[in-house]
Amino acid sequence: MKKTVLIGILCLAGLGFAFNYANEDAKKLKWQTLFNGKNIDDWSVKIRTHDLNDNFANTFRVEDGLMKVRYDGYDQFDQQYGHIFYNKPFSNYLLQVEYRFVGEQANGGEGWATRNSGAMLHSQDPKTMLKEQNFPISIEAQFLGGNGKDKRSTCNLCTPGTNVEKDGKLFTPHCVNSTSETYHGDQWVTANFIVLGNGDVHHLVGQDTVLSYSKAQIGGGSVDPVDPKVKVDGQMLTGGWISLQSESHPIDFRTVRLIDLTEYLGDQKKLEQVVKEGLAAKPAHSK
C-alpha cells in the first residue's frame, strides 16, 4: 500500500511508500551538483585492469551536457568493469540520478550486463581498490532497463563485498529485486536514494519507495581480488564514496546531485521536511 505521509525517515522499513507533495521552490534546498554537465574534473575513474584515473578508451565522457558511458574504443569488453567516483565521501544524503540506456551492448559483455548499470553507495575509496579488482566494496543500487517484453525492475540491490539486513534479519544473497515498474527503451528514469550513516537505505523511482533495508555492512563475496585490510567483514558502513558504473551497456546520465542531510539529523521534523521537498523537486532537465 502506498502512503502520502512521510513516516519518520529513520524508521522507514516497509516497501511501497509514495511521497506526493507540491513541488516547492527548489532554490531553498541545498542541492550539491555532482555532475556539472561540462566535465568530469570532480570525478576519478577506476576501470578493471587499468590504473586509477586511466579513463581507458574515453569510456566516461561528457557530450551535449550528458555524462556518457561508451565502448566504441573497445575491441572486446573483457570484464573491464568501470566506475567513476565523485571525489568526496558522504554519510547522510538524498541522492538523485537521472539515467537512460541507449544503443547496443559492447562486444564481449555478459548476458546479465545487458541494459545494466548502477550507482554504488557507501563505496570504498577508489584509491584502495586493487588494479584487477572488479567492483568496489559498496552497496549497489542496480539500474536495469527493460528488453521490450519482459518484466525487469530497476533500483534493485546488489551487494559487492557487503551485506544488509531486511526485516531485522541478515540478508546475504547478492541481489534482490525492487518493486518498481519496468522501463523499456531509451526513456529517462529518475532514481532517488535516501542514504543514512546508520546503515539505512531507501531506493525510490521518482517519489515511490521500491526497496528499503538497514545495517549495511562489509561482508560476503562478489568482489575479487580485494585488499584484506580494506574488506573487514562485519564492519558497519557509515559513509563512503558514490560512483556510477560502466558494465558494458551504453548509458547516459544527465542529473547527479544530492542534499547532504547530516545537519538535519538532530531535528526529525526538519529532516522529514527537507526529504519531502527534495523528493518533490524535479531535476532541472525534467520537462
Kindly tell me if the per-residue pLDDT of 19 is higher than 60.
no
Residue with the three cell numbers 538497514: 214
Q: Compute the distance between CA of residue 260 and CA of residue 91 in angstroms, rounded to an integer.
A: 8
Kindly tell me if the per-residue pLDDT of 85 is higher than 90.
yes
Over the stretch 115-173, which tens digit does the pLDDT of each residue have?
Answer: 999 999 999 999 999 999 999 999 999 999 999 999 999 999 999 999 999 999 999 99
The rounded percent of the chain whose pLDDT value lies above 70 is: 90
The rounded percent of the chain whose pLDDT value lies above 90 is: 86
9-280 CATH fold: Jelly Rolls (2.60.120)
Confidence of residue 178 (pLDDT cuts 50, 70, 90): very high
CA 15-19-22 angle, to 5 degrees, is 175
User: What's the mean pLDDT in 86-102?
Assistant: 99
Amino acid at 184: H
Residue-wise burial string across 119-135, b where 16 or more C-beta atoms lie within 10 A, e elsewhere: bbbbbbebeebeeebbb
Kindly tell me if the per-residue pLDDT of 16 is higher than 50.
no
Identify the pLDDT of residue 284. Answer: 74
Query: For the chain, what is the mean pLDDT?
Result: 91
Kindly tell me if the per-residue pLDDT of 24 is higher than 50.
no
Which residue ranges make up each domain of the chain? Answer: 9-280
pTM of the full structure: 0.91
Kindly tell me if the per-residue pLDDT of 17 is higher than 90.
no
Over the stretch 223-245, which tens digit does the pLDDT of each residue have?
Answer: 999 999 999 999 999 999 999 99
